[in-house]
Amino acid sequence: MDSLTSQRAGLESGEFSSVELVEATLSRAEAEGRTLGAVVGLRGESALSEAAASDSRLRAGEARSPLEGTPFLLKDNMVMQGEPTTCASKILEPFISPYEGAMAEKLRAAGAIVIGRTNMDEFAMGSSTENSIFGPSHNPWDPTRTCGGSSGGAAAVVAAGVTGYALGSDTGGSIRQPASFCGVVGMKPTYGRVSRFGLVAFASSLDQIGPMTRTARECAWVLEAISGHDERDSTSIPEPAPRLESALDGDVSGLRIGLPKEYFVEGGTDPEVLARVHAGIKELESAGAKIVEVSLPHTEYVVATYYLVATAEASSNLARYDGARYGRRAEGVQDLDEMYRRSRSEGFGDEVKRRILLGTYVLSAGYFDAYYRKAQQVRTLVRNDFQKAFDTCDLIAGPTYPETAFGLGAKVDDPVSMYLGDIFTVSANLAGLPAISIPCGFAEGRPVGLQLLGPALGEAGLLRAADAFQRRTDFHEKRPVLDGISERIQELEKAR
């Protein structure tokens, strides 16, 4: 019952009920999920009540979608009415949402049952899920290593089989990088394909919600359910939800896959990672795809550009957390200025403060043109690079991340090193393009991700290629060994 496919089959055959499935998933979430540091909140009674209603629909033959009766988890930056949303930050610890976000709303409308929330980097700012008031999340394949970030908890629960799918958010790779580290499928849709209503904003022009699953087919089921125009989100594309499953025919004959020469330079990526990625591309080539070389000449500037745009937008978005309206308020203050200053200094963690300061600087008088405006100009050049590349290819392939999962604590004191690792993922966010990471092998026992990028609204083509790859390989069927992982994590915590 650890994959969405097996859950769907069991529910349809009557092997088990939705109530039984949700009970079992809640039990695993309480055990393995919390042990891994991946689950931060559960809603037992409400979820079981929704599961009972789903069972009634299943018995009546009134299933709303392929997700009917299946449990899932939301990243802790997507609101649910009457439930906490903390963004893994002290400043939002007391917050209870007064309204329902689009993701909980859409998936419930599809018959799915939200059972709780997953751990993340504070306000989605990080690549290791270590910047969290709940502590770090551990990689199910090796608990001494990170599961990635900022959607690390979501990737970990899917990899560990706690639940068949989860939702993450991706601002610069925060779905795809943890998917790569944990050996699952993670997709960032086209910007505007999925509503951001109810997603706590980090960088509004970059943020996008997407699914994390075991297979491309399961990813298609979830993406169909959460896509579509939402008038409550001004950036939502006026397009209906796409029909994706019908595109998964296993045929990639004649598909042109572009390999950017900038993604395969020596010295920039772990050789073992590159070997697995090349092998994955060869697999697609043997299935009938045609490999062509392309160029993305502004790749060397994307990390700097991203961290100027993202931090500027973060500085603006996080200005609302001032202790006056909701969230944490400092006690014993003498005046309004002290309330603002202490509420924010006590409520935000170091990485969030770092990004607010950088963003405030690049937006300040005298520096706006030199930094923020220049970054937006380079962003246009990056978008143009992709448009030119897609004139000669249908998809672009490369590594998801330059290395496999690194050790917990290895980069905590070296944020620049952490930032540089985003070299292959941030471009899709800057250009607003869809991208997917799929497991393509292992290096020293740790999962490696193959990233595919497509043109705007090209999710069907990405999923077709990913599904064709998974029909020919079995990497997505591999499972981490969880026996004894609780004891190993306890030993790590004692040693820390």
Q: What integer is the mean pLDDT of 372-385?
A: 98
Report the distance separating Cα 161 and Cα 7, nearest Å: 11
d(CA 477, CA 470): 9
pLDDT, residue 488, reads 86
The residues with which 42 forms a beta bridge, in sequence order, are: 116
**Over the stretch 68-95, which tens digit does the pLDDT of each residue have?**
999 999 999 999 999 999 999 999 999 9
Distance of alpha carbon 182 from alpha carbon 81, whole angstroms: 30
H-state helical runs in 298-335: 302-317
| Residues 102/104/105/108 CA torsion (nearest 10 deg) | 150
Q: What is the pLDDT of residue 268?
A: 85
Would residue 195 show up in a list of annotated catalytic residues for this protein?
Answer: no
Structure tokens at 338: 């002290």
From the list 451, 454, 436, 431, the residue with the least C-alpha distance to 384 is 431
Q: What's the maximum distance between 2 C-alpha atoms anywhere in the chain?
A: 70
pLDDT of residue 494: 78
Hey, what CATH class is 4-258+458-495 in?
Answer: alpha beta
Q: Which amino acid is at 224?
A: E
Confidence of residue 409 (pLDDT cuts 50, 70, 90): very high
Weakest mean pLDDT among 141-150, 328-337, 466-475 = 328-337
Share of the chain above pLDDT 90, in %: 95
pLDDT number for residue 492:
83
Is pLDDT of 495 > 80?
no
Q: Could you say which of 54, 89, 127, 150 is catalytic?
A: 150
pLDDT, the chain, mean: 97
Q: Answer whether 0.85 is exceeded by the pTM.
A: yes
Q: What is the pLDDT of residue 231?
A: 97
- CA–CA separation, 425 vs 410, rounded Å? 21
* Mean pLDDT, residues 334-342: 94
Going by pLDDT thresholds of 50, 70 and 90, the confidence category of residue 484 is confident
- How far CA 137 is from CA of 37, 181, 240, in Å, comes to 4, 12, 36
Known catalytic residue at 150: yes
For residues 44 and 50, give the distance between their C-alpha atoms in angstroms, rounded to a whole number.
Answer: 10
pLDDT of 350 reads: 96
| Spatial CB neighbours of 428, under 8 Å, sequence gap ≥ 6 | 173, 188, 434, 435, 453
**DSSP letters for 433-458:** --EEEEEEEEETTEEEEEEEE-STT-
> Residue for token digits 């990813």?
219
Among residues 174, 180, 227, 343, the one annotated as catalytic is 174
As a whole-number percent, the residues of the chain with pLDDT over 70 amount to 100
pLDDT the model gives residue 493: 80
Determine which one of 75, 106, 188, 411 is catalytic: 75
Least confident interval from 11-20, 251-260, 391-400, 481-490: 481-490
Beta bridge partners of 96: 84
d(CA 448, CA 491): 27
**pLDDT for 1 beyond 80:** no
The predicted-structure confidence for 199-252, as pLDDT tens digits, reads as follows 999 999 999 999 999 999 999 999 999 999 999 999 999 999 999 999 999 999
Q: Rounded CA gap, 217 and 214, in Å? A: 9
* H helix or E strand, kind and range, residue 146: strand 142-146
Q: Look up 174 and say whether it is catalytic.
A: yes
Mean pLDDT of 152-162: 98
Residue extents of the structural domains in the chain? 4-258+458-495
Q: What is the Cα–Cα distance from 395 to 392, expressed in whole angstroms?
A: 9
Q: Are 19 and 44 in contact (CB under 8 A)?
A: no
